[in-house]
Structure 1
Amino acid sequence: MKNSLRILKLRRSLLWRLLGCALFLGAWQWAAARGGGLALASPLETWFALVDLAAQPWFWTQGMLPTLGRVLAGFGLGILAGGLLGWIAGIYPEAALLLLPFRWVLSSVPGVVLVILAMLWCGVGSGMIILIVALTSAPTIYMALQEGLGAVDPALCEMVRAYRVPLRKRFTELYLPAVAAPLVSACVVALGGGMRVAILGETLGASQGLGYTLALARADLNTPGLYAVALVSMLLVRAIEATFLRCLRNKLCGGGRA
């Protein structure tokens, strides 16, 4: 009985996903038919442009792989920095007050301003992209951990201290369950934001990557190429979500949806 209900639920979920994709593609085609080819490429034109890009070796070695490496490096640094500071701020409220101006500035500064400042600090290249992805990701991870730890019942915290519960058990039984769900959600948001600023940074100041490919397509007025590069960036984010972030969700939350 349980297996039958589970299969039915999966089928219904798949049906709604397919309907959502069909609705999206239909709206896209309708807008493209009325917007003109220069402003909006159709799904079919975008697909042909994507196939053309995928057939060119330089796109993989000089377009997609550099962006993927930069985003993963910056995202990893953002998780480390934001996670460490968020954990400290969640346990010690005074630290949260001390770090508030830094969190506010990094959360509020526009992406283009951050890119320009990073170009001044690091010059043009991979270091600049990695820095802006890290600075964009860290506040989101920080806030998720701070809020998750801050929501833990103070009575439980006092009880584990009174009974001298080992630090490892406090971490696995009290703190980790409290931050698991918000941390995974924050990682999804931070990854998407990191990809956006990486593309922006590469468009403004890089000689490789998806952003550079986007700049070339813009210079050539290649609208289908623009949409193809955007589609590749979205597929990269989805691929990372379906691998690393799914493993993280399963480990921390004991399962989850795709």
Structure 2
Amino acid sequence: MKRIEPLSAARRGVPRWLRRALGPVLLIALWHLVSITGVLPQEVLAGPSVVLTSAAKLVATGELQQAMWVSLGRALAGLAIGGTIGVSLAVLSGLSRLGEDLIDATVQMLRTVPNVALIPLLIIWLGIGEAPKIALIALGTAFPLYLNVYAGIRNVDASLIEAGRTLNLSRSAMIRHIILPGALPSALVGLRYSLGIAWLALVFGEQINATAGIGYLMANAREFFQTDVIVVCLAVYAFLGLAVDFIVRTLERIFLSWRPAFSGT
């Protein structure tokens, strides 16, 4: 039997990965063009060739790899702590009216406080070691997960809840088989938001007396006006963020394969 393909799939001639890569490639080509023509001076922003040379030197000495692992470890540690707190509070608040009354108002108040403004307090409370850096990331990642998991729980289809009651499911079975799976799409969206905020918080956190990490490399490069090294560090931040986001997108495809979704035309 001949397989019937959607019209949108039949129209595609260029592979999707190639189309997705086209934008960044054109941007880098434009950057290279304005650099070699002198429109963009090297002291303002180093060109791609200089940046690649600097990256190769940092890789050869092992400095870049070490900084990447240190920064990634901080981001994941902060995400683990903040995610655990955010999801736990969201479950308590979403499943119980009493929990909502006790938790939600406080969380809504605290999430409006800029995390960067808390840096002086974190330094006073936790010192200038790793603790304030991880705490800043944890604070930044907890709130998006709380909001999305809470919204996901409260927006579960009421007809599914009624079906569970008709089947005489216990409260624990209702939570395990209906409520939490129904909230999973919102939870994964919250995870993607939290990952983005984790990298932003990491940039600020690594300015707190860091002695290792991507932020430490950037701080040293700033002192010596090394724009090429700064661009390398920014590219590493972007690469790490993209890699972790790819992992979350993969999890979405695995755990949400049951949910039909629009994929564009």
1:106–1:136 CA contact under 8 A, matched in 2? no
Partner of 1:137: 141
Question: 2:158 & 2:107 partners in 1: Cα distance?
Answer: 24
For the residues of structure 1 that align with 2:85 and 2:120, how far apart are their CA atoms?
A: 22
- The match for 1:156 among 152, 156, 160 is 160
1:125 deviation in Å?
1.7
- The aligned length equals 255
Deviations 1:11-47 (A, max 9, x none): 4422320222223324544665534323333333322
Q: Which amino acid aligns with 1:114?
A: L
Give the alignment's Cα RMSD to 1 decimal.
Answer: 2.9
Q: Which moved more, 1:76-85 or 1:22-31?
A: 22-31
CA distance in 2, matches of 1:7, 1:47: 39
Structure 2 residue aligned with 1:190: 194
Match for residue 50 of structure 1 among 55, 65, 78 = 55
Among 78, 88, 99, the residue aligned to 2:103: 99
Report what 2:181 is aligned to: 177
Which structure 2 residue ranges, 5 or more long, are not aligned? none
- Measure, in 2, the Cα distance between the counterparts of 1:30 and 1:107: 43
Residue in 2 aligned with 1:39? 44
Pairing partner for 1:110 from 107, 114, 130: 114
Q: Is the 8 A contact 2:128 2:208 kept in 1?
A: no
**Which residue in 1 is equivalent to 2:83?**
79
TM-score (norm 1): 0.84
Aligned equivalents of 1:35, 1:116: Cα separation in 2 = 37
- Residue identity over aligned pairs, in percent, reads 24
Q: What is the CA deviation profile of residues 156-201 of structure 1, one whole-angstrom value per residue up to 9, with x for unaligned ones?
A: 3244245431456434542233222222222122112111211211
What is the one-letter code of the residue matched to 1:46? V
2:27 — aligned with what?
Answer: 24
Rg larger for: 2
* Aligned with residue 234 of structure 2, among 230, 235, 247: 230
- TM-score of the two chains, using structure 2 as the length reference: 0.82
More helix by share: 1
Q: Distance in 1 between matches of 2:222 and 2:83?
A: 33
SS for the counterpart of 1:203 is coil
| Cα separation, 2, equivalents of 1:116 and 1:246 | 35
Distance 1:3 1:11, change over 3 A: farther
The change in CA–CA distance for 1:165 and 1:127 in structure 2 (over 3 A counts) is same
Give the deviation of 1:67 after TM superposition. Answer: 1.1
Which segments of 5 or more consecutive residues in structure 1 lack a partner in the other structure? Answer: none
